[in-house]
Amino acid sequence: MNRRVLGNNFDVSAQGLGCMGMSQSYGEADQAEAEATLLRALDLGITFFDTADVYGAGHNEELVGRVLKPHRDRIELATKFAIRPGEGGKLMGVRGDAAYVKEACDASLKRLGTDVIDLYYMHRLDPNVPIEETVGAMAELVTEGKVRHLGLCEVSSKTIRRAHEVHPITAIQSEYSLWTREVEDHVLPACRELGIGFVPFSPLGRGFLTGAVKKDDLGKGDLRKMLPRFSDDNFDANRALVTAVEEMASARGVTAGQIALAWVMARGDHIVPIPGTKRRTYLEENAAADTIVLSAEDLGELDAIFARDAVTGERYPQAIMDTVETD
């Protein structure tokens, strides 16, 4: 696996591993397979692991921390705070006040079984707290040696600029893929201008862009059942777009998912996608995309297929969209 640099000096594997699905959102997980997947990632040269305190209400941090603790000096560990988990999987809102920043960090350190977090993200913006207060408290964690780098998730370019004035921001994490490209308007240009890395989550469109997801695959506990793009009519319309990617992939002897990942990775050396999986088979397929080089013609063809108005349906239901800050 190649390496890339986020921000000024945060060296990570060119792909990371999103760990959320090992604890929630995509049906029941096989814990033995999840543990094997984490260790297989290391074998493949993937050293950048992404979790959050809200994933599985702390379970995911505990899992990642326990399995990777013997390899702590080899990995780059990222986690997030701000979305407050409640009982039964319910969310209790967002907090970004200074006191909560420190409380959440200490709790994450304990669950992860480490004394320092390599990249600490604000998971969502608290609309009731100035970003300067939140990032100021995060900066104090850096001074205390509990955190090495700071990041923000799903925020506007205006918030990025305000935060960066308080303390250097190393990475912005937002959804970005062939079918989710809004960050190209303002967020990605701001990151390039300020020297901030960008970490796309769901670079495979929650699996849709691989072509492997079928309507009847979405069982109980699968987040995608509530997402507009996966509803019946939208599913069929969007599936036609993926067919074109499958044809391109077939001509090159690779998979549609590998083409979709290679497209994201081609958007810039400061971009490090974190495709999520809980199975070694998909992990290995994703990792192989690191070697795929798309031509300018390929990239142009994909851009045309996935023009903004070609994708049907919103990313999330409106209630969740309201938590995502846009320009």
Q: How far apart are CA 19 and CA 276, in angstroms?
A: 6
**CB-CB contact of 69 with 113 (8 Å):** yes
| Helix (DSSP H) and strand (DSSP E) numbers for the chain | 11, 11
**CB-CB contact of 142 with 100 (8 Å):** no
Estimate to the nearest angstrom the gap between the alpha carbon of 192 and the chain centroid. Answer: 19
Tell me which amino acid residue 295 is.
Answer: S
**CB-CB contact of 37 with 283 (8 Å):** yes
Q: How far apart are CA 143 and CA 161, in angstroms?
A: 21
Residue 25 is given by DSSP the state: S
Quote the crossing angle between the two packed helices 256-265 and 280-287, to the nearest 10°. 50
- Which of the residues are catalytic? 55
